[in-house]
Each structure stands twice: as C-alpha cells, then as structure tokens.
Amino acid sequence: MNVVTELETSINEFNQKYQENFAIDTIRISYSKQYKKVKLDNLGKWKKLNANDNRILNKLKKRLTVDEITSAYQLENYNIYYYNSAIAPKYNQATMVIFGLKQYHKEAPPQHLIESILNILVFGTSKVNINIDICKDFFYKPNIEALNNFYHLTPFITKNGLITDTRYINNPEITMIEKVIIYNKQVKNNLSFKVWRAEAKVLIPNIKLLSLPLYELKTYIFDLLST
C-alpha cells in the first residue's frame, strides 16, 4: 500500500465510523534530495519560481522563512511545488508541497503524480517527515464564536488593517495538531455558493495513529463549529 492510499484509507475509515466528511487538502513532506532529484525530474518539467514571491511563501504555509528558502520549483502547471532549503546540510534538504486536493473551482493534481512523488520520497527512507492539512467544509456559516470559551482565536488582519472573518487557533493543544484555521472559502475562491472551511495542520509521525488526532479534532473543535 502506498502512502497516499494509506492516508486516504485511514481517513475514509474514520469518516465511515463517525459519519464525517474529513478530506486531505494539502500534503507536505521534507526530504533529502540525495538520490531523489533524478527520479523527480523524470516526472515532468519543473520550472523555477521566485522564492521571494509572497504568494509562493503563503502556499508553503509559513513552514519555512524567506531566509531558509534558496529556490522554489513548480511541476508543470500543477499545484505541486518543492522548495530547496538553506538549512544544513545546505542544498541537500527540500520540502515538497502538494495542495488543492479538495477544491471546487479547479481540478486537483492528478492522483498518479501524487502517488509517484510520495513513493519516490518515502522509498528507502527510514524516517519520513510528513504533515497534511485535514479539512471539513460547512455549507453554512459555522459557529466560530462557540470556540471562544475554549481557545484563543487570532483574526487575520489585512495590510490595510481590515479584520477578516478568518480565525486561527495557533496552539490547540491537541495531539499531532499544529494549528487550525477557519475561513470563508466562498470568498477566497470566488465561488457561487456558500461554503466555509475548517482546516487543521496534522503532523504525522505514524499514519497508524492518525485516528487519534482526527477524533480529538472532531470532538473539541469541529463539533463545536456545528452547534
């Protein structure tokens, strides 16, 4: 079983057990480029991008800072990027980001490409540094205020000082969950229908343990949004 299938199987089993609709929106994996680059190059054309482009950094979700990125590349026109890191050993470390897996306004990257990339990065690696964004969509405005009694909600403020509807929980104190964001996806993607998204960054030391953070995420955050 490949990594993608294993992740999806674990999430689907959870969804069936708890009548949920969790999905993967983003996959990130850090890796050593040694023995990997040639195989990745064979998948298609990687075009170099401006690593100082804020749009690109936002897609990395602030996983690295500007100083830590030496260059960034995109596979064809897909939402698939890798970032070379300046972290020692320099030029040997990189982070692959595959995003837009759960969208309404455009197609996700091809499944076979995702599987090929993850299989290349995982093969022959004893310890894999992988994390994913798990999302749940609400086709109504969720009860964000219900979280106020339990978490510190940080609003996203634009450069012009406008306080938006987006809220962050930067330290949810849930096993394997780094942060949670709730935002208006209809506005973000200019959709014709109402949809809000709650999204959590999940650190995965072991895929077999994925059901634990999913259950806590459902119980302590997502269920509150449904009240």
Give 114-152 pLDDT, tens digit per residue.
Answer: 999 999 998 766 566 789 999 999 999 999 999 988 999
What is the CB neighbour count within 10 angstroms for residue 172?
22
* Domain boundaries along the sequence of the chain: 3-225
What is d(CA 146, CA 89) in angstroms, rounded to the nearest whole number? 45
What is the CB neighbour count within 10 angstroms for residue 167?
20
pLDDT digits (tens, 9 = 90+) for 74-120: 999 999 998 887 666 666 788 899 999 999 999 999 999 999 999 99
* DSSP for 101-164, written as a single string: SS-SSSPPPPHHHHHHHHHHHHTT-SS-EEEEEEEEEESS---GGGGTTTS-PEEEE-TT--EE
> Tokens in use for 16?
């069936």
**If pLDDT is split at 50, 70 and 90, which confidence band does 60 have?**
low
Return the CA Rg of the chain.
18
Look over the chain and give the mean of its residue pLDDT values, rounded to a whole number.
87
Res 66: pLDDT = 46
Whole-structure pTM value: 0.88
pLDDT digits (tens, 9 = 90+) for 181-211: 999 999 999 999 999 999 999 998 878 888 9
Cα-to-chain-centroid distance, residue 168: 15
pLDDT digits (tens, 9 = 90+) for 166-176: 999 998 999 89
Res 70: pLDDT = 67
Could you identify the residue written with the tokens 């339990």?
A: 150
